[in-house]
Amino acid sequence: MMDLSTTSVIAAKAYKYKAESLVKDYLLADSYVSYTAVLGGILMCKMVHDITHLISSLYYKGYGSLTKIQKLEWNNRGMSTVHAIFITLMSVYLVFFSNLFSDELDGPVTVRSSNLSNFTLGVSLGYFIADLAMLFWAYPSLGGMEYVLHHMLSIISLVYAIYSEEGQLYTYMVLISETTTPGINLRWFLDTVGMKRSKAYLVNGVTMFVAWLVARIILFIYLFYHIYFHYDQINHMRTFSCILIFAVPTVLLAMNTMWFAKILRGLKKTLAKRQ
């Protein structure tokens, strides 16, 4: 009995050591942390998608009466809401509160990165890959070509920012725009459950208007302002990095302005009906 117990303890310690070595030497190693993050982002999407389905089935009676596509979009929006909260918090912290991209440090801000910044971008990349796969699988029920274009630009930018470690500051500035996603999703949820005339729908509409103006219009203007005053640093980056830094925010700002006009028209219509 003692020999069997001793053998079991030794075997358990050996497995624990191997597991710790796997995590330390591979999953969390500098060269593998991005791959781990991407995989984690994809797994997070699957987990949140399933949890949204479970909670909605238990606590919302109308969930069962939704169509198959509506249920898919419902769960998908739960997934995108969790990602938006995560990436907004991390982006705001890295851009405005950490010293990673501070001008007070020596060296150009355009080539700075860290394990935390790479990990965060990897998780976000995993989300966009998973969500793009969902878009293609249910196309066009979950979104048209504008959503596909948005996700493709995001994936290209994230992949390049991770593996070149250039321009991560501007990538995070753009990702802050995800702060509007929870409001967009809440608007869809309220509409789907028949609460379009509720006070919550109106308050959410006003909040979404303000958030969109700040995060997708004003912040993008500040991004170009920052690019202008750091052009000497950007000029020393790789050619493809420069193309992404100028092209992606320009395309997204054009799309954001177009969607902002729709939000403004919708808010005016809602307020007119209220009056």
Residue at 9 is within a domain: no
Residue 140 within any structural domain of the chain: yes
pLDDT confidence bin for 26, thresholds 50/70/90: very low
Examine residue 74 and state whether it is found in any structural domain, yes or no: yes
CA pseudo-torsion sign 258, 83, 172, 42:
negative
60, amino acid identity: Y
| Structural domain boundaries, residue 230 | 32-273
- Averaged pLDDT for residues 233-239: 93
Helices (H), 62-180: 68-92, 115-137, 145-164, 168-175
- Section 220-234 average pLDDT: 95
Distance CA 228, CA 211 (A): 25
Stronger pLDDT, 242 or 13, i.e. the higher one: 242
Residue 21 in domain = no
Give the confidence band of 22 by pLDDT, cuts at 50, 70, 90: very low
Quote the CA–CA distance of 78 and 82 in Å, as a whole number.
7
The answer to whether residue 99 sits within a structural domain is: yes
Please tell me the total count of domains within the chain. Answer: 1
Q: Is the pLDDT of residue 45 over 60?
A: yes
Which residues touch 34 (CB under 8 Å, ≥6 apart)?
118, 119, 121, 122, 162, 163
Determine, yes or no, domain membership for 2: no
Contact between residue 112 and residue 169 where contact means Cβ atoms under 8 Å apart: yes
- The answer to the question of residue 18 being in a domain is no
Q: Average model confidence (pLDDT) for the chain?
A: 89
Predicted confidence at residue 106, as pLDDT, reads 87
Report which residue type is found at 151. Answer: H
User: For the chain, how big is the Rg over CA atoms in Å?
Assistant: 22
